[in-house]
Amino acid sequence: MNEMYALSQDIHIYTLMGWLFVLLTMIVVHKWANDFDKLVKSISVLMILHITLASAMVLTGAIMMAVRHLSLTPANLLMILAILVVATLEIKRNKALGKVVKFKLMPKMSYIHLALKYQISEFVIIVAVGVFSGMARAISF
């Protein structure tokens, strides 16, 4: 049982690092976007990685909680809340992209600024939750 927890924790941490890297890449792509069509193609590829890594984070987190008999610590509750907020921000960003590409209801630059704001918020939330959960583990909540 302890081996499964340790493996899940390692996968969880490496997935977190990969997820932060993908988010930083998405921020850079949005920041230096020259051609909107190329931006949409790159974001489409990065979105697949983003969703895959977020799903892996949720899966490994659920495995770790199940191994510990569903102990809901403040750090675990904060992580659950954070993934819900991040998912909501991603849904909003994706809907805004649809408004630009399919329906032409939003200017391209407005989408880029909105997407940057959402993704920087996601990055800050993920880092803040990681710092809090690390501090919670250090003082053993």
User: How high is the pLDDT of residue 2?
Assistant: 84
User: How high is the pLDDT of residue 136?
Assistant: 61
Distance, in Å, from the CA atom of 106 to the CA atom of 36, rounded to the nearest integer, reads 13
Average pLDDT over residues 29-56: 93
Boundaries of every domain in the chain: 2-138
**DSSP state letter for 17:** H
pLDDT band at 90 (very low <50, low <70, confident <90, very high): very high
Q: Which residue has the higher pLDDT, 9 or 28?
A: 28
User: How high is the pLDDT of residue 71?
Assistant: 76
Helix/strand/coil (H/E/C) assignment for every residue in 84-140: HHHHHHHHHHHHHHHHHHCCCCCCHHHHHHHHHHHHHHHHHHHHHHHHHHHHHHHCC
Predicted TM-score of the model (pTM)? 0.88
Residue 37 pLDDT exceeds 60:
yes
Q: Which residue has the higher pLDDT, 42 or 73?
A: 42
Residue 138 pLDDT exceeds 60:
no
User: Which two tokens mark 70?
Assistant: 């569903």
User: Which two tokens mark 13?
Assistant: 């941490």
Question: Alpha carbon 65 to chain centroid distance?
Answer: 19
